[in-house]
Amino acid sequence: MPLGVYSLDARIQLARKARYSLDVQYYLIQDDRTGRLLMRNLRDAALRGVRVRLLVDDLYTVGGDPMFSGLAAFPNVEVRLFNPFCCARQSITSKYLASIADFGRLNHRMHNKLFIADGAMAVAGGRNIADEYFMRSASDNFVDMDALIVGAVVPDLAAIFDAYWNSPQAYPVGAILGESADRAQSRRDFDSLVDDGEQMMLLVLPPIDILGYGPIRDDLDEGRLGLVWGTAVAFADKPAKVMATSDEMARSMSVQMNVMDRVMAAKSEVFISSPYFIPGPMGVQEFADLRKRNVKVTILTNSLAANDEPLVHTGYARYRVELLSTGVDLYELSPTRIQHNKRLMLPGTSLGRLHAKTAVIDRSTVFIGSMNLDPRSASKNTELGILAECPQLAREVIRVINISKLQSSYRLRFAPDGQSLEWLAMDDEGDVVLTEEPDVTPFTRLQNMLLAPFVPEQQL
């Protein structure tokens, strides 16, 4: 599901059609029209008798505490916070300042994204729950990827959810925020929050998405899903990764190792989409080894201008020359070029940023998940992903990557001097060649250049 509005509608439809259970796990659920839309449908499912379990990481819950505690006040609903902060919940800064002695634990977060309906259908991938992940923000939107999943792998995903739900790191929301003295009033406040406002507007869906699929709501209504079939395995970091006392201990629990092992076993071709891409010396060597075996490697990541975490770009930029020297094809998404890519359906003049975390190996194996190829995914956050053996799915994911790569990105290459970099794109008038980071001001270039030597790579 590369199209944001289709992906959001899939979650809403599964919530509306659920009969028995909804298990929902996210790094971020924003108190905006998208977050409220989902929360309203979770409440409605609970009122029908569906058991609802909601697990959310506690980092970005600022401002959302009444929403989470309000949902928990309804029958058939449990809400838990993962790796919670103790107090001072007015802002992320105040949360950390009040818990500075516990920074080592709190610097580790649950980055998983998972939605399971009736233990039978699941949505997994890169999207959090907020306007910008579904092309609903007026200013900035993420180009992302999810998959709708059925079959034998869903019980494995359910087991992953249960492991997190039952872990010592997951706390009932009432234990952190305090139990409501008047649950009826909490429910009324929640109803007032989610039943009025823009979230009540119907989602407007185009007739088909980028890949030619129609809305999942139509398929579900007809009882006939258009699926591609393959063999898949689901895997996730252990919840205890957030309690790791060293990066080495955390990396030993990381799904990144599983994915890179599969990448390194490639025989002919690798496509990677990673918004935050910091390969490190070891990663550069691994990609170099692939190129020595004539494996073609194509990597799509964010440009400096597209990156919502500019300091992360400094970690990536350190390795561009080495990667290009090995023969890796590097593409950087442009936030302005993507505005002209009608297939992605960005609203108005909003900027686009890459957020999809996918890989395709030998045009047959596909990874879709929450994991970036960066140190934070390896040693700080917990991650979840799926590896599927399915050539048809591989073709579709490559097609989506190519749409961004060819129409919305710059290709990096060496300048004639063989050392400096150039950014190349194709326009109607011909080639566009730039000799500096595109779409950013000289001040931003200078700022990142000055900060780069002082940024600890393991924190990126």
Tell me: the pLDDT tens digits for 297-330? 999 999 999 998 888 888 899 999 999 999 999 9
pLDDT digits (tens, 9 = 90+) for 139-189: 899 999 999 999 999 999 999 999 999 999 999 999 999 988 899 999 999
Query: Can 9 be counted among the known catalytic residues?
Result: no
In whole angstroms, what is the distance from residue 10 CA to residue 114 CA?
Answer: 13
Confidence of residue 25 (pLDDT cuts 50, 70, 90): very high
pLDDT at 437 over 80: yes
Can you tell me which residue has the tokens 């956050």? Answer: 381
- According to the model, what pLDDT value does residue 200 have? 67
Catalytic site residue from 95, 241, 313, 355: 355
Catalytic site residue from 23, 95, 108, 111: 111
Q: At what angle do helices 65-72 and 33-47 cross, to 10 degrees?
A: 10
Q: What is the mean pLDDT of residues 413-434?
A: 88
Name the percent of the chain lying above pLDDT 90: 75
Bridge partners, residue 353, by sequence: 142
Query: Can 340 be counted among the known catalytic residues?
Result: no
Query: Can 357 be counted among the known catalytic residues?
Result: yes
Pick the more confident residue, 444 or 152. 152
Query: Can 189 be counted among the known catalytic residues?
Result: no
Query: Can 162 be counted among the known catalytic residues?
Result: no
pLDDT digits (tens, 9 = 90+) for 188-233: 999 999 998 776 667 888 999 889 898 998 899 998 888 999 999 9
Q: What is the mean pLDDT of residues 438-444?
A: 85
Q: DSSP secondary-structure letter at 225? A: -
- According to the model, what pLDDT value does residue 459 have? 67
In whole angstroms, what is the distance from residue 38 CA to residue 49 CA?
Answer: 17
Question: Exposure string (b/e) for 172-203, b if CB count within 10 Å is 16 or more?
Answer: ebbebbeebeeeeebbebbeebbeeeebeeeb
Catalytic site residue from 44, 156, 191, 362: 362
Catalytic site residue from 44, 65, 118, 218: 118
Of residues 15, 100, 110, 103, the one with CA closest to residue 61 = 110
Residue 39 sits at φ, ψ, to 5 deg, of -60, -35
Of residues 45, 165, 73, 51, the one with CA closest to residue 114 = 165
pLDDT at 338 over 90: no
Confidence of residue 39 (pLDDT cuts 50, 70, 90): very high
